[in-house]
Amino acid sequence: MADNIIIRVQSPEGMKKIPSTKRETAAAFLKKVAKEFGFNSNGFSVYLNRNKTGELVSQNKTLSLLKIKHGDMLFLFPSESSTSSGEVMDTATPHTSSSLPSVSSSSSSSMIPRSFSAPQVQEDEIDQYLAKQDGKIYRNRDPQLCRHGALGKCVHCVPLEPFDEDYLNHLDPPVKHMSFHAYLRKLTGGADKGKFAALENISCKIKSGCEGHPPWPEGICTKCQPSAITLNRQKYRHVDNIMFENHTIADRFLDFWRKTGSQRMGYLYGRYTEHTDIPLGIRAEVAAIYEPPQNATQNSLELLDDPKAAAVDEIAAKLGMCKVGWIFTDLLSEDTRIGTVRYSRNSDSYYLSAEECITAGYFQNEHSNPCRLSRDGHFGSKFVTVVATGGPDNQVHFEGYQVSNQCMALVRDECLLPCKDAPELGYAQESSPEQYVPDVFYKDKDKFGNDVTFLARPLPVEYLLIDITTTFPKDPQYTFSSTQRFPIENRDILGETQDFHSLATYLSQCTSTSFLNIVSDFHLLLFLVTNEVMPLRDSIGLLLEAVKTSNEDLAQTWKKSEQWATIEQLCSTVGGQPSSSLDYGAMGGPSVPASSSAMWSCLHCTFMNQPGTEHCEMCSLPRS
């Protein structure tokens, strides 16, 4: 009995205990291992060490001669021919310091365990780029604290991890949320390299397929019941900065409110780039704003069906852009004489209303973030929300937000409702015979300073928000370099229409510039593709490539095409500028139309007045 021993064998699928004896040969022991794990004789290899050294080969030597004792751990690795690469976890590789390079561009990408990965998921280019970066925060040698040579490192100068909270808190300004890729490094770091880490999307629905009881509402069990949700501040964010390429983009968007007093909504088109101010950060750069069909008043917005939505996304993709977010205004004029706006969104009221949070959650669910570390192939979203509203100085400010992944799940599963009389409060829907809703809680402090858990009926929406800095660059950038302004789509209420009259007027103002600069306007390109007279959707690819790469030769080649010759012929047929069009000055302000039958803009407050009036309806000042 003393000869009986048990050998532990660890494989990528788990560990098993193999009974044996000291006098058993290695060949007989390997046959037991093959039978236990379901391999053929050549489908695996067994090693004495985790780093694949000391292979146990099939021979007649006994286990005692090979110095294998009771309780020893051996390591099994399937051969490449017997299993697919997707079944072998990266965590089976050694974790010693000799096998992990200190700086490697490819080491971080292999941190994601293949057992949780979705190889068929095509991640965004920025995610693929950041996954290959080192991400470490390198520090210089401290002359006062470091007591080593120039090539040495100590605790005062060793590189920090990108998720180091103390470093982020000491930045100016402090960073409350680490970047998403820094969060991934935190999950996949440590000794196990993320072996047990996986990003799970929250579900508020009952799991289907439970056969032990009748379906809801007649029955439910712990297996199919979704877990209760306790709202917490999200430690990371998918986008760390929003940057408009130049002020012109925002000014043209605000022109609608300046002229009508009504609010406006638009989709942000641009690209995701690296944000170097935060370790492994992502920046959403906005190059254009598309304004879909909508009904707008001073206090509300209603989106309408957009038949051109697919064409807009297609054009943006060919220009190297995508839809990165949405923007809306919440502006109320305070003093029309000095051009100030009311400061209404603050800590005493709200930053985003519950209804706006639900809308943001809907858009984020529509534009989910591809992720290999999630079983579903997606996790979170990089879709941002920007609000143009009054700031503390009573000037227009742009504030950026996202809602948390918990909010996205509540919105996706229709569990979150707005409160009618309190815009700063949401309400977790109660269960009904048609839908089971899990309990939603949040924590707050009572009057004695104790942490108390409350049921989210109602719910302060601050628990769902993630704020993002919104900036403009010191040196403006221009993806679309046209100096003239083609009318923006869906602004017929202002008398700004996209037709061949507008195109003829636009081209007549651009006689001295190059053809590439003339066509380098996002709204002009949309009109060329979506107009009903002569749509160029199938023949404009070369021109879009010329604008994308700023290639004047390609633009001149397309200019010689039959399509552009037809466009010029149509423009010459319709003639010059119609009386209902507005003539824009250099600063974007409209001048008074010559025709008295058209709407006119007040020179003092820019409000658009109905024709036939001599005094502004907003400020009561004379037209002249």
What sign results for the dihedral spanned by CA atoms 401, 404, 405, 406? negative
Q: What is the pLDDT of residue 597?
A: 52
Neighbours of 87 (CB within 10 A): 12
Q: Is pLDDT at 66 greater than 90 in this prediction?
A: no
Q: What is the pLDDT of residue 2?
A: 65
Give the tens place of pLDDT for each residue, 482-522: 888 899 999 999 888 998 889 998 988 877 678 999 999 99
Q: Is pLDDT at 371 greater than 70 in this prediction?
A: yes
Q: What is the pLDDT of residue 411?
A: 95
Determine the topology of domain 123-470 in CATH.
Cytidine Deaminase; domain 2 (3.40.140)
Q: Is pLDDT at 593 greater than 50 in this prediction?
A: no
Q: Which residue has the higher pLDDT, 476 or 12?
A: 476
Which range has the worst mean pLDDT, 210-219, 249-258, 491-500?
210-219
Q: Is pLDDT at 564 greater than 60 in this prediction?
A: yes
Tell me the mean pLDDT in the region 281-308.
Answer: 94
Q: What is the pLDDT of residue 195?
A: 64
Amino acid identity for residue 116 in this structure: F
Domains 4-78 and 123-470 share a fold: no
- Full-model pTM: 0.73
Give the residue extent of every domain in the chain.
Answer: 4-78, 123-470, 492-575
Q: Rounded to an integer, what is the distance from CA 475 to the centroid of its chain?
A: 25
Q: Is pLDDT at 342 greater than 90 in this prediction?
A: yes
Q: Rounded to an integer, what is the distance from CA 379 to the centroid of its chain?
A: 10
Is there a contact between 265 and 327 (Cβ–Cβ < 8 Å)? yes
Give the tens place of pLDDT for each residue, 438-452: 999 998 888 888 888
Q: Is pLDDT at 376 greater than 70 in this prediction?
A: yes
Give the tens place of pLDDT for each residue, 122-171: 899 999 999 999 888 888 888 888 888 888 889 888 888 899 888 898 88
Q: What is the pLDDT of residue 196?
A: 63
CA-to-CA distance for 204 and 437, rounded, in angstroms? 7
Is there a contact between 363 and 380 (Cβ–Cβ < 8 Å)? no
- Give how far Cα 11 sits from Cα of 15, 25, 44, 47, 462, Å: 6, 21, 10, 11, 46
Tell me the mean pLDDT in the region 581-601.
Answer: 45
φ/ψ of 356, rounded to 5, equals -70, -35
φ/ψ of 271, rounded to 5, equals -150, 160
Cis status of the peptide bond prior to 476, with omega within 30 of 0: no
Which candidate, 178, 363, 197, 368, places its Cα nearest to that of 281?
Answer: 178
What are 570's two structure tokens?
């149509």
- CATH number for the 4-78 domain, one of 1.10.260.40, 3.10.20.90, 3.40.190.10, 3.40.630.30? 3.10.20.90
- Give how far Cα 100 sits from Cα of 10, 96, 151, Å: 21, 7, 20
Long-range contacts formed by 493-496: CB under 8 A, 24+ apart: 493/260, 494/256, 494/259, 494/260, 494/582, 494/599, 494/608, 495/580, 495/581, 495/582, 495/593, 495/598, 495/599, 496/581, 496/582
Residue 116 per-residue DSSP state: S
Q: What is the pLDDT of residue 253?
A: 95
Total residues found in the chain within this entry:
624
The confidence band for 192, taking pLDDT boundaries of 50, 70 and 90, is: low
Q: What is the pLDDT of residue 40?
A: 72
Q: Is pLDDT at 85 greater than 50 in this prediction?
A: no
What sign results for the dihedral spanned by CA atoms 519, 521, 526, 532? negative
Is there a contact between 324 and 284 (Cβ–Cβ < 8 Å)? yes
Q: What is the pLDDT of residue 512?
A: 64
Tell me the mean pLDDT in the region 459-480.
Answer: 93
Q: Is pLDDT at 115 greater than 80 in this prediction?
A: no
Q: Is pLDDT at 96 greater than 60 in this prediction?
A: no
Q: For residue 315, what are the contacts with CB-CB under 8 A and spacing of at least 6?
A: 525, 526, 529, 544
Q: Is pLDDT at 112 greater than 50 in this prediction?
A: no
Tell me the mean pLDDT in the region 166-182.
Answer: 89
- Give how far Cα 122 sits from Cα of 113, 126, 128, 291, 378, Å: 16, 11, 9, 29, 10
φ/ψ of 358, rounded to 5, equals -65, -40
Q: What is the pLDDT of residue 215?
A: 86
- Give how far Cα 251 sits from Cα of 187, 247, 396, 588, Å: 42, 6, 10, 8
Q: What is the pLDDT of residue 79?
A: 76
- Give how far Cα 7 sits from Cα of 20, 31, 74, 92, 436, Å: 7, 14, 7, 19, 50
Q: Is pLDDT at 586 greater than 70 in this prediction?
A: no
CA-to-CA distance for 413 and 407, rounded, in angstroms? 10
Give the tens place of pLDDT for each residue, 12-40: 878 888 899 988 888 888 888 888 888 77
The confidence band for 57, taking pLDDT boundaries of 50, 70 and 90, is: confident
Q: For residue 617, what are the contacts with CB-CB under 8 A and spacing of at least 6?
A: 607, 609, 610
Q: Rounded to an integer, what is the distance from CA 503 to the centroid of its chain?
A: 35
Tell me the mean pLDDT in the region 544-573.
Answer: 90
